[in-house]
Structures are given as C-alpha cells and as structure tokens.
Amino acid sequence: MTAQAGLPRSVVMTGSLTFAAVVATCISMMTATAQSSLPDYTAIIAAPDRTEADLQTDKRRAPLKLLAFTGARPGMKVLDMGAGGGYSTELMARTVAPAGVVYGQNPADLPERAKTRFEARLKTTAGRNIVSLVRPFDDPVPADVGNLDLITFLFFYHDTTYMPVDRAEMNRKLYAALKPRGVLVIADHSARAGDGTSVGKTFHRIEENVLRREIETGGFKLVAEGDFWRHPEDPRDFSIQPPSGKPVDEFVLKFQK
C-alpha cells in the first residue's frame, strides 16, 4: 500500500498514465481542430476562374506560402493596404469567403491601369466580398471599420516614404483598426544596410530594420519572419522597377497587436 489516498501503487500509476493519455488526446484533438479550421489554400489558388494574369503573377509571388504565413481563414475581416490592381486582395477575399470581408485600400491617385483592374475584380464572383476604400494611407479606414483580424501591406510601404504620407500616423491608425492580438503582415523589397528610406523612389526598396523600427514604434510586436521571398545574392543596388528578371531580395514580417 502507498500513503497516496491509500491506493495500491499499481492503481496510482494506472491513474497517472490514464490522465496523461487523456491530456495527449485532448492536445491532439485541439491541434486537429485548429488545422481543420484553415482553408485549403492549394484549392483556392487552383480555382478555375482565376485570371491568366494572376496565374502569371503567382510564379513570382508564392501565394501558397503567403496565405499560409498570414493564417487567413473564412470569416475574417481583412484590410489590404496598397491593394493596387487587387491581386492579393482577391486571394484574401477567396480565402475569407463566404462570410468574411476584405477592404482594399488605394489612394485617390492610383494609376489608371491599376484602378481599372481593381474595379473589374469588384464585379466578379470572387470579388463580391471586397469593399473598395479610396483613402489616403495615413487615414486608411473610415470610423465604422475596425476590429480587423488581419492587415496585409504588400510591397507598397516603401512608396509611402516619398509620398506625402505621415507614416507614424498611418501605423497608429493600423494599430487602432486591429482587434486585440490582430495581425499585420508586411512585405517589401529589401534595401542595403544604411539606405534606410532614401531609395524608396529610386530603387523602390526600403531597409528592413528601418521599416521594422517604424512599425514597432507604433505599438506592434514582431512575432514571425518569412524567408520564402529571400534572395541573399541580390546586391540590392538596382531598381526593381521596371522588372529586370534579376532575383530581388524581399522580406516578409508578421506583427501582432
């Protein structure tokens, strides 16, 4: 006999093992539930109604890895900053459908070609849960839009460095628009150490550490980094516009409120 509850040692050990087994089963079930809540990103990308132009863009944008990195799933409220022609906006809209919504923000002076492409998406089945926001970067959402799950800001942050944008105010507004523990995913073209924001207009790049510092000053915490767009062989001494075919080093960072 043992002193523990007056039970034989064999009974105590069996009880411990049973408890451990229950815990392991619960953890396994929770993991399976979390995984099952994620959409089939591969099927989303392979949707037969996606345009040929978007399929070509896929070749350089690794959409499967991007979607997995963001963790986007059905029912989410998402803001896509600097939506441009809407490539990433539509991917997010397909992912959060049918109950979710994606706000695609663009400035009023968006080039006509991008504007036409974005407006065309709004008329498609895939774009029915996209809401267009024509607003400045430093005031990106109206007062009635908030409690967002996710904000994406892909390859456009560097442009705000030479535009009349108050980036500190922009980042404060993005922080305020997210719900607690909401996520901000930013990707951009990497500049050389020391270049800071000085090559935003010439090379269309930004120094990663500078961008990170600006975002963290706004209250965000860095929680993950993606390496799927990295090209360390890039000397980062040339403009990414127009595309030259050379590998471009691009970083992607995930921040949390």
188, 215 Cβ separation under 8 angstroms: no
pLDDT at 5: 44
Question: Which run of H or of E encompasses 210?
Answer: helix 208-217
CA distances (Å), origin 35, targets 193, 226, 254: 38, 20, 20
- 253's CB contacts (< 8 A; 6+ apart) are 185, 186, 187, 208, 211, 212, 215, 222, 224, 225, 226
What does the alpha-carbon distance between residue 15 and residue 64 come to, in Å, rounded to a whole number?
A: 45
Q: What is the pLDDT of residue 14?
A: 40
Can you read off the two tokens belonging to residue 52?
Answer: 């040929």
Token pair 């009349």 is found at: 164
What percentage of the chain carries pLDDT values higher than 70? 86
pTM: 0.86
| Tens of pLDDT, residues 45-88 | 999 999 999 999 999 999 999 999 999 999 999 999 999 999 99
Q: What's the confidence (pLDDT) of residue 12?
A: 39
DSSP annotation of 128 reads: T
**Helix boundaries (H) for 38-62:** 41-45, 52-61
Which region among 36-40, 187-191, 193-197 has the lowest average model confidence (pLDDT)?
36-40
Average pLDDT, the chain: 89
pLDDT of 224 reads 98
State the Cα angle at 64 between 135 and 132, rounded to 5°.
15
Per-residue b or e along 35-51, where b marks 16 or more CB atoms closer than 10 Å to that residue's CB: eeeebebeebbeeeebe
Q: How far is CA 256 from the centre of its chain?
A: 11
Residue 18: predicted pLDDT: 52
Q: Each residue of 110-155: pLDDT tens digit?
A: 999 999 999 999 999 999 999 999 999 999 999 999 999 999 999 9
Amino acid at 15: G
DSSP 163: S
Do residues 181 and 152 touch, judged by C-beta distance below 8 A?
no
Two tokens at 138? 């430093």
> pLDDT-derived band of residue 35, with 50, 70 and 90 as boundaries?
very low
Q: Inform me whether the pLDDT recorded for 28 exceeds 90.
A: no
**pLDDT band at residue 3 using 50, 70 and 90 as cut-offs:** very low
Look-up of token digits 């959402």? 141
> How buried is 219 (Cβ within 10 angstroms: 0-12 exposed, 13-18 middle, 19+ buried)?
middle
What is the reported pLDDT for 37?
Answer: 76
